Amino acid sequence: MAQGFIAVVSGKLKQVFGITASAGAGDAGKIPALDAGGKLDISFLPTGIGANTVPATASEALSAGDFVNLFNNTGSLGVRKADNSNGRVAHGYVKAAVASAAAATVYRLNTTNDAKTGMTGGDEHWLGTGGATITTPLDPVTDAGKVMQYLGIAKSATELVTVEEAPVTL
């Protein structure tokens, strides 16, 4: 429950609580309260402001932290694992596991993927296979035909600060 405060309502003291989500104009003038995660609910923000995400249907099972490729899946936006070996460039990543045929929330690049594991802070990462990353860039001679895409730098063992750079087919 949100913290309360004392206010004068119709000439009497009354305990009033902040709201943790907004229903729109009907909540005008009310005091917002932080949610259980210590943040404001997205419903308080103006239209067009919010998480940089794209909803899409997964065409295969995805694991938390996977880099993913958005594509036309028979007329609908689909999402699958990005892969440097087959031209599936990374458009973003998922923070939670998603079953095949389920709705996925894809977080766009230029944000921090905090669903990774086993990284070393300061290491640079490029697109690997199966939604994973590699820490050594591809070689133009031995990796001809593959996609080289720089994804960013590890901030910690679990956080990759991503960038959106154009992929290059070797």
Residues 46-61 pLDDT 10s: 877 878 899 999 999 9
Residues of the chain above pLDDT 70, percent: 99
> pLDDT tens-digit profile of 2-41?
678 898 989 999 998 888 888 888 899 888 988 888 888 8
* Confidence band for 75, pLDDT divided at 50, 70 and 90: very high
- The CB-side HSE value for 34 (13 A sphere, CA atoms) comes to 4
Question: CB-based contacts of 77: which residues, under 8 Å, 6+ apart?
Answer: 54, 55, 56, 57, 70, 71
Question: CB-based contacts of 168: which residues, under 8 Å, 6+ apart?
Answer: 147, 148, 149
Question: What 3-state DSSP class applies to 6?
Answer: strand
Please state the domain extents for the chain.
Answer: 4-44, 53-169
Whole-model pTM: value is 0.79
